[in-house]
Every structure is written in C-alpha cells, then in structure tokens.
Structure 1
Amino acid sequence: MSAIITAIGLDADDTLWQNEQFFAMTQDNFADLLRDHTDKGNLMERLLAAERRNLPHYGFGIKGFTLSMVETAIEVTDGNVPSDVIAQILDMGRDMLSHPIELLPQVEETLVSLSADFKLVLITKGDLLDQERKLAQSGLRDHFDGIEIVSDKTPPVYADIFERHGTGADQALMAGNSMASDVLPVLDAGGWAVHIPHALTWAYELATAPENRDRFTTLDKLGALPTYMEKLTGG
C-alpha cells in the first residue's frame, strides 16, 4: 500500500551543504597547537567530553565548539595555556563562522523536484545566527515552505513541526545524515526517516541503525530521494 506523505523535513549541515569537514580541519589545527602537551587522540577524547558536558549550557554549533576547545586547552596544559594559543583558538572559531557555503551534489535539483509534490521544511539545529547565515548564503531559502532552527531534535520537536507544517508526523518524512538526530527521533514521533550518510559525522551524532522498522531506509545520496518518494507514495 502506498504511503501518504504530505511534508518532507530536510537536515542542513552535511545533508545540503558541507559542515563537518570544517570542524575536522579545525581539530587538526587545534591538535597542532597543543602537540607539545598531548597527542591528538587524547586531545580529541577530551574535547568530545567537553562538548558533551557543555551542550546543555552552550547548545550545538561553532560557538560552543570554540568554548569547548578553550576549556580543553586549559585542561591539558594544567591551566598554563599561553594567551596566544587562546587567541588562535578564537581566531579558528571566527574563521569557521565566516567560511563560505559549499553545497553538496544534486541539492538544488533535488529540492526543485521534491517541492512539486511535497511541503518542504528545513529542520536544523545549532546557533541561530550561524544557521541563518548559511541558509542565506546557500541560495536555497525559496525552495522551502518552512524553516525551523531548533535547539535539539527530539520526538516532541518533530511532532510539533510536522503538525504546523503538514498533517502530522505520521504523514511526514525526515531526511538527513545523522542517525541520532534525523532518524531515530522521527521514527519515535511516528514519522518516516531516510538516512543519507556523509563521509564525516560527529561522534555525538552516531547511533545504531534501527532494525525491522518499515518506515526507515538508507539512501547513498540526496539525489536518490525523489525516486524513493515516487516508489513510497506510488507517485
């Protein structure tokens, strides 16, 4: 039986445009700054721990990441981190906040195709100003019927979004690269979910794929989504 889907939610970072690669490059530079104090493996473990610890306070995004780098630098140097290192960390954060947008392949044509039959909603989490900047630079705003920049992606958040932008979560689908944020909570809300893996994914966003869930699938690229939707809805 064909599914009834009225709205499609799309993640932004590493689904529509590159994001994690800039975090990875910054982490390499961060490790180089502190190479005299610890090895990269240990530094990355402590940085991830700081990020997890700080999420309730700073939320998702580059600003919280930058503050977590500062905190980690203080920790691994036993409070003796040079001021010029702190300055360089802050510069790296500012560079990330001004980096030009790089769209992933087939994004615009995919949005054009999907928008002919479905209400499209951009659903992204992170710093409001930074996400708004990236969306403006992407040139994709006009393809969406709704824009939702949220502090976190949870089942109640998805239920509320798809109630306002569609006919409820049970008739909505979310597509994105994060198993933890774009798949599992949508399924728990009663919706459909498509995982589109990216080569680089933040450890916080990793999770085990659900088993025996008929409302879940994985596609190798965003450009495959229109064909999948045709099959799913009998279009």
Structure 2
Amino acid sequence: MVAPHPSAEGQGMSLSEQKSFSQLFTEPTPSPIHVRPVTTYKGEAAVIFSKQDAEKLAAPYRWVLVGKFSHGRPSLEEIRKIFTSLNLKDQISVGLLDYRHVLLKCASEVDFNRIWMRGIWQLGKFPMRVFRWTRDFHGHKESSLAPVWVSLPSLPIHYFDKHSLFSITSLVGKPLFLDSATAAASRSNKARVCVEVDLLKPICTRVWISVEGEMRFWQKIVPEEMPCYCSACWRLGCSVDECRKNSSEQHVTHGMR
C-alpha cells in the first residue's frame, strides 16, 4: 500500500482538507438562548426549554416552507434549478428533511407568500405540496395552517386601508396581504384579504365595527374556498367524514363491541 505524500505545507493533507478541518473550529453564530440544565422526566434525563427559548430558536425560520412529495421526488439539485429559474425576489435555500420532505427557506415574505399560495407545484413529473413550517412539524403530520382569501362585502370604502383591514381580519387569523383591487380601492363592493388560517379552529364570520360616538355595524367575513383538514390522518385536503383511516378505525371499534 502506497503511503500518501505530504502536501507542500508539510501537514500530510491537501489545502481543501485543511480548510474543512479548520471549519470545524469556526466560531458559530451567537446563540439566542442560554444552555439549559439537564433535569429528569419520569425518572429519565430531560432538557426542558421555555416557550420563549423555542420561539427565539425558531425565529430564523419564519419564512420557511415544507415541500412534500408522495410518489418520489427530483434530486435536490433539480429542485434548486427549478426555483432558481423563477422570477423570485431573492434566492431560496433548499434542504433535505427526509425522503419525502424538503425545506424551502425564503429570504423574503414576498417569495414565501408566492410559493405558499400556489399550494401544489409540479416539478417535472413529481407534484410537490407546500405547507408552512411550524415548530411542531412532524413528517407524519401536515400543518393545519393555510392561506385563505376572505371577503368583506359592502365594507365602507374608507376602511380599505391596509392596517384597517388587517385589524378587522386578525380575528380570522394572521393577515398576509391584500388583493390588488383592494389595495388600489378600485372595487368598492367588497374588500379581499389573504389570511393565514388554522383549519382546526372555528372561523369568525362577523365582527362588530364602531366609531366612538358615531356609526356602528356588523361586518360579514366570508371565507373563499376553505380547504378541508382531517384531524384523523392529519392531512390537508382530506375531511374526517371521508377519511379512510378514520373509517377503518371506526370499523375496528364497532367490531370490538
């Protein structure tokens, strides 16, 4: 067996190998939290983070989506090329979570909303569904958060201001953006706002609006094309009534009686 020759630096490794080795000791980005002490839970070792700690750790991932493939997927390089070819405001980072899921990290809210709103992307012969990443993400459980358009019919035109509409629709979920006609106040019969909705929670369908000492009225909030979400199989687009998993579990339960 031939022994490797030392490099010109006399260290027995190439320049690229030396660089990789030195990177192991590069000063990391400062942590937003303190080291947590080890404790116990039910007699076993445990580390318990506060909710504030978890939120600080998740802050860099605020504009992150999860792409899910159900029947194979392209290579990471192919996925990166496809998103690089789009007319996005900034580049996005694509990373592998597992054989079905990829992480799409956006640098701007504009790109995040554009990719999320489309719902399903056709990447070559592979469809990819996208969901908002959350701290409780698990591969077997799709996020119940979804972007939904809501309309405010017959809303007085002076309430078409962005902050006014965000105040009103915050009762439904987290307001994301206005449609172009609403932003330009060019359609006076209704305002439309895209809102991040948790599909596991009931949706508010009206709100009381008043001006101190002046007019007051109930304003209808009309969701457009609310997607289904199944709490039995944890999938977007599936309903509890039609869920095969829920039906099979009910069949087993009845059979045991």
TM over 0.5: no
Pair member with larger Rg: 2
TM-score calculated relative to the size of structure 2: 0.21
1 or 2 for the larger relative contact order (CA 8 Å, sep ≥6)? 1
Of Structure 1 and Structure 2, the greater strand share is in 2
TM-score calculated relative to the size of structure 1: 0.23
